[in-house]
Amino acid sequence: MKEKLNDILRKTIEKCFEEGALTLGSLPDYVIEVPNNPAHGHYATNVPLTLAANQKRPPREIAKIIVDRCSDSRGLIEKAEIAGPGFINFTIASAAWYEALSSILALDVDYGRGRLGQGERVLVEFVSANPTGPLHVGHGRGAALGDSLCRILAFAGYEVVREFYVNDAGRQVRSLGESIYSRWRQLTEPEYPFPPDGYHGDYIGALAEEVSGGSDLAAFTAEEAIAHCAARGKEKMLAEIRKDLNRFRISFDVWYSESDLHTSGLLERDLNKVRDAGYMYEKDGALWIKTSDFGEAWFEALYRSF
């Protein structure tokens, strides 16, 4: 409704310029807002006040010129009144409100859906909890926030892809396997040492029983058994994570494995590109990227340099 009123107001002022009722010039910034007092109508504008300086006329005189020439062919405005030092108060016709309500009811859940995104694809990665333990309240917060963002973006016209990045490369999954293996050994050898950086939750004992129930860990070497416990433990924890997220009514389009990224060769390929372009260096036993060469837009600039 506010946009329709603004369209009428702009066309009316253009008409005033064309007819010479107002001196031709630029239209300063103005506001259309809902008055604090309902008796002042549905909307009010300060446009006569903003025009006063360049028109060199009293705001109330400008307001009368605008009201007298109001271009409202659609019958949106029931009443336009001049108030105070030069405000214009508008009362919208009841038929216009009924039409708006009818449109809202017809659109149902699509009311307010926008085209801002114009189908542009957006990847949103969220939750992405390590597959080494159950979800906790912090993950729930991230899940609610991420899913809400996805829904808003989709409603605004973007093509949204939801991604859960599975952090299954590195030390943490190995530590999960060691923890499960240790708990299994402790079933018959209570003094068997537990890894110092292991996972101590009760779920580890439950995983040890499940994994050993489906496989004869005694038939493996210790290293093979740890690797098996790590793989099976990760698989079972991911299943629990999926189950919890489904109960939370959150689903993902992509479950992307970090270990798959490493084995695909994509990471090494892109690191070589950065290295060959001269933007990588070694310091303190680590590889660094010279992002300072590109300022705040470093990622896009680096990407385009390839």
Instruction: Tell me the Ramachandran region of residue 96: left when phi exceeds 0, alpha when psi lies from -120 to 50, beta otherwise.
Output: alpha
Radius of gyration of the chain (CA): 33
Which residues are CB-neighbours of 152 under 8 A, at least 6 positions away?
none
Q: What is the pLDDT of residues 185-218, one digit of tens each?
A: 999 999 999 999 999 999 999 999 999 998 999 9
Residue 296 has pLDDT above 70, yes or no: no
Identify the pLDDT of residue 303.
64
Q: Where do we find the tokens 């599975």?
A: 166
DSSP one-letter code for 92: E
Helix (H, G, I), strand (E, B) or coil at 95: helix
Identify the pLDDT of residue 35.
95
State the average pLDDT over residues 165-193.
95
Determine the residue type at 124: V
Instruction: For CA atoms 145, 147, 148, 149, give the dihedral sign.
Output: positive
Tell me the pLDDT band of 46, cut-offs 50, 70 and 90: very high
Helix (H, G, I), strand (E, B) or coil at 225: helix
Q: What is the pLDDT of residues 258-268, one digit of tens each?
A: 999 989 999 89
Other beta carbons within 10 angstroms of residue 237's beta carbon come to 22
State the average pLDDT over residues 143-147.
97
- What residue ranges in 7-120 does DSSP mark as E strands? 32-33, 43-45, 77-83, 87-92
Identify the pLDDT of residue 290.
86
Instruction: List, in order of start, the domains of the chain with CATH numbers.
Output: 2-96 (3.30.1360.70), 113-264 (3.40.50.620), 272-305 (no CATH)
Backbone angles phi, psi at 223, to 5 degrees: -65, -40
Residue 102 has pLDDT above 70, yes or no: yes
Averaged pLDDT score across all residues of the chain: 93
Identify the pLDDT of residue 298.
66
Residue 305 has pLDDT above 70, yes or no: no
Identify the pLDDT of residue 301.
66
The share of the chain scoring above pLDDT 90, in percent, equals 86
**91 vs 72 pLDDT, higher one:** 91
Instruction: Tell me the Ramachandran region of residue 119: left when phi exceeds 0, alpha when psi lies from -120 to 50, beta otherwise.
Output: left
Identify the pLDDT of residue 304.
66
C-beta separation of 90 from 5 below 8 A: yes
- Alpha carbons 172 and 291: distance in angstroms, whole number: 29
Tell me the pLDDT band of 293, cut-offs 50, 70 and 90: confident
C-beta separation of 289 from 275 below 8 A: no
Spatial CA neighbour of 226 closest among 276, 265, 176, 186: 176
The Cα-based distances of 253 to 126, 152, 166, 196, 300 in angstroms read: 12, 17, 13, 37, 25
Residue 92 has pLDDT above 90, yes or no: yes
Instruction: For CA atoms 194, 200, 205, 211, give the dihedral sign.
Output: negative
Identify the pLDDT of residue 73.
85
